[in-house]
Amino acid sequence: MYLPPAFREDRIETLHAFIRQHPLGLLTSAGESGLAATPLPFLVYPADGVHGTLRAHLARANPHWRELQGGIECLVVFMGPQGYVTPSWYPSKRETQKAVPTWNYVCVQARGRPRIVEDAAWLRRQIDDLTCAREGARPDPWMVSDAPEDYLAAQMQAIVGLEIPIDRIEGKWKLSQNRSATDRAGVIAGLGDPQDPDKNEAMAALMAQRSDSH
């Protein structure tokens, strides 16, 4: 990933937190059959390995997992808020006309060599952990144990587990850091304008939070 210093995010706790907030990652790899990509909800386990470990599961009918059995390196991309930035939001544009459109976004990329897991206890823990992560905040959370055991057993036979110890992880927070403070404030105001066709409250809030923390 192209990472200009102004956009680089290296803090491991920030990267892990981002994955927890945006767990749907695009698993990509290149094997004998060519390129393959599968979107999957991942969990990150920070204490497992130097940079943490990603865990997920795939449908057994998905041929992608067979490509991963040889331990080829794979890439998982997690995307967060993103949106168009018009030069019209820059106060400096009105003074100099020296501005072009751009796109702001946040993403994290993790690389590692995957391991396919077919152990029933591992799979049960994975679906329990994933369910708890998504259901835990609900007033009446659903639990895996709510389903009949024979039904669960049949469902688990239709999946395989995926574990990726992270060898390398990097984040890119492209939030107009290469613009002046005045221009950044203009972008935040534009993104937050309910009358603007490119309004993006999530991106505006993220930019404002980032500005306050630096």
Q: What is the pLDDT of residues 8-46, one digit of tens each?
A: 999 999 999 999 999 999 999 998 889 999 999 999 999
Residue 159 makes CB contacts below 8 A (sequence gap 6+) with 57, 58, 59, 60, 123
Give the mean pLDDT of 114-126.
Answer: 95
> What would the DSSP string read from start to end of 46-85?
TTSSSS-EEEEEEETT-THHHHHTT---EEEEEEEEEEEE
Mean pLDDT score of the chain: 93
Per-residue confidence (pLDDT) for residue 3, from 0 to 100: 94
Please state, in angstroms and rounded to a whole number, the distance separating the CA atoms of residues 168 and 187: 32
Q: For the chain, which domains are there?
A: 5-208 (2.30.110.10)
Please state, in angstroms and rounded to a whole number, the distance separating the CA atoms of residues 115 and 62: 16
User: Do residues 92 and 180 lie in contact, with contact meaning Cβ atoms separated by under 8 Å?
Assistant: yes
Give the mean pLDDT of 178-194.
Answer: 93
Q: What is the pLDDT of residues 54-74, one digit of tens each?
A: 999 999 999 999 999 988 999
Model pTM score: 0.92
pLDDT at 214 over 60: no
Give the mean pLDDT of 153-162.
Answer: 95
Question: 3-state DSSP call for residue 202?
Answer: helix
Main-chain dihedrals φ then ψ at residue 96, nearest 5 degrees: -120, -20
Give the mean pLDDT of 113-119.
Answer: 96
